[in-house]
Amino acid sequence: MDEEELVELAKSKLRNSYAPYSGFRVAALAIAPGGKIYHGNNVENASYGLSMCAERVAIFKAVSEGERIIDTVVVVSDGGMPYPCGACLQVMAEFGVRRVIVAGPGSREIYELRDLLPRPFSPANLPHQPEL
Ligand SMILES: [Zn+2]
């Protein structure tokens, strides 16, 4: 699938967004190196702080299905450009995301994760190295 097809696929999932408070619907795809695609949507909560971004839902679904590397994340919204938040960028770094495609109404931008988050916290910062 090319970038346009990925964006269209993600947009087809916007209807699953649960955003009754902000009205800002977001859908995401986490694409594993083998090409398998995991979908996610933002899920809001009446206690606002418990809301979860679409990107992390998609990545966590992939990881909980056994993936450990994510190649590409696609984030789309029909309410504006859904640039990933800092928490999502850090989670992307954890799982080796290379490319981030962001699309809003009428525009699409493609980034390397290292350009969006040039200095992520990493396992190298920990006093004890984890077995990943
Ligand atoms: Zn986020």
Query: 118-128, pLDDT tens digit by residue?
Result: 999 988 888 88
Quote the number of domains for the chain. Answer: 1
CA distances 25 to 2, 11, 43, 125, Å, are: 23, 10, 9, 35
**Res. 132: pLDDT tops 90:** no
Residue 79 lies inside a defined structural domain of this protein: yes
Q: 1 CA distance to ligand 1 centroid (A)?
A: 24
Residue 126 lies inside a defined structural domain of this protein: no
Instruction: State whether residue 41 is helix, strand or coil.
Output: strand
Angle in degrees, 0-180, between the axes of helices 54-64 and 86-94, rounded to the nearest 10: 20
Give the environment of ion ligand 1: residues with CB less than 5 A: 53, 85, 88
CA 42 to chain centre: 10
Q: 129 CA distance to ligand 1 centroid (A)?
A: 26
Average per-residue pLDDT for the chain: 96
pLDDT score for 8: 98
Q: 46 CA distance to ligand 1 centroid (A)?
A: 18
**Res. 23: pLDDT tops 90:** yes
Residue 86 lies inside a defined structural domain of this protein: yes
Residue 132 lies inside a defined structural domain of this protein: no
Residue 83 lies inside a defined structural domain of this protein: yes
Q: Which of 3, 5, 8, 55 is catalytic?
A: 55
Domain that holds residue 76: 3-119
Beta strands in 3-130 (DSSP E): 26-31, 37-41, 72-77, 99-104, 107-112
pLDDT score for 66: 98
Assess whether 8 carries a catalytic annotation. Answer: no
Nearest-CA neighbor of 88 among 13, 30, 33, 127? 30
CATH code of the domain covering residue 64: 3.40.140.10
DSSP alpha helix (H) spans, 1-132 = 3-11, 54-64, 86-94, 113-116
For residues 27 and 14, what is the distance between their CA atoms, to the nearest angstrom?
5
Residue 125 assigned as binding residue: no
Residue 130 lies inside a defined structural domain of this protein: no
| Residue entry with tokens 């910062």 | 125
Q: 131 CA distance to ligand 1 centroid (A)?
A: 26
Residue 128 lies inside a defined structural domain of this protein: no
Residue 52 lies inside a defined structural domain of this protein: yes
Q: Which residue has the higher pLDDT, 132 or 121?
A: 121
